[in-house]
């Protein structure tokens, strides 16, 4: 049988091969058909994908062209380098000029708050319509970009105090403005001028409000910081706490056992304990906010998270309940100097300038200085990360000594003598990108060769000093007007340094032109006069102006 099969294979070899070939051909044909079907499906999918890509690209181009050419871009106000706005028949108040950013601190222009009174018929009608006697006062917000008035609201003429940098006043996101008058409190939203709340308050004829208003931690549990105000009647002081959200009084009035108060501020120790510091003619006393709140609520058991500092409590007088922070003759100014973890206390008296550790109350340094004319101004003169202090001290008849003290040691880093004018405002500073500050102060410089030159008795000159060029002063501008307020700030996304002046009658009982002016520092620098304090180091005036013009400013501390 096997032999017959082999014989058949030998006789018909091609037949078997043809059979296998046919089978292979059929298999290959099937595979090709499957591949073709798959290729057809892939080809269709590729075409759909290409169509979708071009369709999405076309839609994107339509959107881009629509926004670029069809839909108009929002009109942004043109930023003016210099502007001025004048009010006729008005008066001004020296402490009613505030600079703040209403929305985002990077994108919003700065706004100003000031008071103006006007007896013209137009404003007479505004006063009557709001139930106020004419002439009444106006509080307004002006855009720092182009001076356009954002809002304006009439308020009672008898303004006693105001504060326009209170965080989340009335539970709003933007800082609020609290106006204090003889008849009550008015909280105003800074963005729109809308009245958030009003609270009638009766103030006696012999009472006066003590500036500044103090913003304290949330005491009534509504997640909004509250406000504490103090009034003085003779030698006695009393305080009242109001809700920052609604204006309602929290508890009753309190009377700290301190007499003859001339100023106060809020201080926080290293442990997070809050103390109200009251400065009198010869001393500074501290009262724990916890104790003040307990007196207002008439209970020692309080649920608010307030505490007392153990180190300070050891120094508390058991009979008066206060802490003696400082004792010396002729206390003039009390300023907080930021430190690490807590603020230190800078104190000026009739013949001393001293720095106290804000926790231990020990002296860090002291320096002999004559009578200080105005509140010290903080800035950075050297690069040791400690804030330095600019003070203006009386130096003879109509003279003042401008001094910059090292915040770490009290050493005099820079000083110069200028003529002093009563209408000149306090100095200011602005941080530069090299981790230092530019200092701006007012006065009148006269060199020995210029002693016979008549500058005028009532002319103030604005000078600029930078630590990198301590031998140079730039004379930026001058004014014969009474300067009620002077502020320096960064505008236009924090890029440009500008200063703002509020000028007007020297007395609140007088009326005249009240002018608010903004000027860009770079504009004044380009036209400034270069004053060389050391003639041996005199260089090129143009090169010096170019250097100051190229300074970059920073909001970072």
The burial of 10, by beta-carbon neighbours within 10 Å (0-12 exposed, 13-18 middle, 19 or more buried), is given as exposed
| Contact between 142 and 115 (Cβ < 8 Å) | no
* Rounded-to-integer distance, Cα 132 and Cα 154, Å: 8
Domain boundaries, the chain: 421-557
| Contact between 111 and 143 (Cβ < 8 Å) | yes
| Contact between 349 and 329 (Cβ < 8 Å) | yes
**Nearest CA to 287 among 248, 254, 260?**
254
* Rounded-to-integer distance, Cα 460 and Cα 437, Å: 22
- SS3 labels along 275-326: EEEEECCCEEEEEEHHHHHHHHHCCCCCCCCCCCCHHHHCCECCCCCCEEEE
* Rounded-to-integer distance, Cα 279 and Cα 51, Å: 79
Taking 50 as the pLDDT cut, the residues of the chain under it are 1-3, 5, 7, 9-11, 14, 20-21, 25, 27-28, 32, 35, 103-109, 115-122, 448-449, 452-453
* Rounded-to-integer distance, Cα 67 and Cα 70, Å: 6
The DSSP-derived string for 137-180 is EEEEEEETTT--EEEEEEE-S-EEEEEEEETTGGG-SS-EEEEE
Q: In what order do the strands lie in the sheet with 343-348?
A: 333-338, 343-348, 352-356, 363-368
**Nearest CA to 380 among 336, 428, 438, 463?**
438
Per-residue DSSP letter, 436: -
* Rounded-to-integer distance, Cα 159 and Cα 199, Å: 15
Largest CA distance in the chain: 147
**Nearest CA to 211 among 228, 191, 236, 193?**
228
| Contact between 97 and 112 (Cβ < 8 Å) | yes
CA 175 to chain centre: 10
Q: Which pLDDT score is estimated for 410?
A: 95
Q: Which pLDDT score is estimated for 522?
A: 94
* pTM of structure: 0.81
Sign for the pseudo-dihedral over CA of 400, 402, 406, 407: positive
* Rounded-to-integer distance, Cα 137 and Cα 114, Å: 10
Q: Which pLDDT score is estimated for 338?
A: 93
**Nearest CA to 476 among 86, 79, 82?**
82
Q: Which pLDDT score is estimated for 502?
A: 87
* Rounded-to-integer distance, Cα 308 and Cα 288, Å: 6
């Amino acid at each position: 049988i096997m032999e017959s099969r082999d014989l058949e294979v030998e006789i018909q070899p091609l037949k078997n091969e043809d059979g296998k070939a046919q089978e292979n051909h059929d298999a290959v044909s099937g595979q090709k058909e499957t591949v073709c079907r798959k290729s057809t499906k892939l080809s269709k999918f590729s075409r759909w994908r290409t169509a979708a890509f071009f369709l999405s690209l076309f839609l994107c181009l339509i959107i881009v062209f629509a926004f670029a050419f069809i839909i108009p871009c929002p009109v942004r106000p043109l930023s003016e380098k210099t502007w001025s706005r004048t009010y006729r028949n008005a008066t001004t108040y020296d402490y009613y000029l505030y600079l703040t950013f209403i929305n985002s601190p990077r994108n919003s222009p700065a706004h100003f708050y000031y008071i103006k009174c006007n007896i013209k018929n137009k404003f007479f009608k505004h006063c009557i319509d709001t139930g106020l006697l004419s002439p009444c006062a106006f509080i307004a917000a002006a855009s720092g970009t182009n001076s356009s008035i954002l809002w304006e609201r009439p308020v009672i003429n008898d303004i006693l105090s105001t504060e326009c940098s209170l965080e989340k006043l009335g539970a709003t996101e933007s800082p609020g403005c609290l106006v204090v008058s003889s008849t009550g409190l008015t909280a105003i939203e800074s963005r729109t001028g809308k009245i958030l709340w009003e609270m009638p308050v009766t103030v006696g004829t012999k009472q006066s409000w003590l500036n500044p208003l103090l913003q304290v931690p949330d005491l009534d549990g509504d997640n909004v910081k509250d406000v504490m105000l103090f009034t003085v009647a003779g030698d006695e002081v009393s305080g009242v706490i109001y809700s920052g959200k609604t204006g309602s009084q929290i508890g009753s009035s309190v009377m700290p056992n301190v007499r003859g108060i001339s100023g106060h501020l809020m201080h926080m120790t290293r442990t997070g304990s809050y103390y109200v510091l009251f400065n009198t003619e010869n001393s500074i006393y501290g009262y724990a906010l916890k104790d003040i709140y307990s007196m207002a609520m008439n209970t020692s058991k309080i649920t608010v998270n307030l505490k007392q500092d153990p180190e300070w409590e050891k120094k508390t007088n058991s009979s008066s309940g206060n802490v003696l922070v400082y004792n010396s003759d002729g206390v003039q100014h009390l300023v907080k100097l930021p430190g690490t973890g807590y603020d230190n206390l800078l104190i000026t008296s009739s013949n001393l300038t001293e720095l106290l550790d804000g926790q231990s109350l020990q002296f860090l340094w002291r320096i002999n200085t004559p009578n200080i004319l105005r509140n010290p101004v903080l800035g950075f003169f050297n690069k040791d990360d400690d804030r330095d202090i600019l003070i203006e001290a009386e130096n003879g008849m109509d003279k003042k000594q401008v001094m910059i003290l090292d915040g770490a040691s009290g050493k005099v880093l820079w000083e110069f003598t200028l003529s002093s004018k009563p209408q000149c405002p306090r100095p200011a500073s602005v941080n530069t990108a090299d981790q230092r500050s530019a200092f701006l102060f007012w006065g009148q410089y006269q060199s020995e060769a210029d002693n016979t030159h008549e500058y005028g008795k009532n002319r103030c000159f604005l000078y600029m000093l930078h630590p990198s060029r301590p031998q140079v002063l730039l004379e930026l501008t001058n004014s014969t007007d009474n300067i009620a307020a002077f502020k320096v700030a960064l505008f236009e996304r924090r890029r440009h340094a500008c200063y703002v002046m509020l000028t007007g009658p020297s007395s609140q009982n007088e009326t005249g032109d009240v002018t608010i002016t903004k000027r860009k520092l770079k504009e004044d620098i380009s036209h400034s006069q270069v004053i060389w304090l050391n003639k041996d180091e005199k260089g090129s005036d143009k090169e010096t102006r170019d250097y100051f013009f190229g300074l970059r400013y920073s909001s970072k501390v």
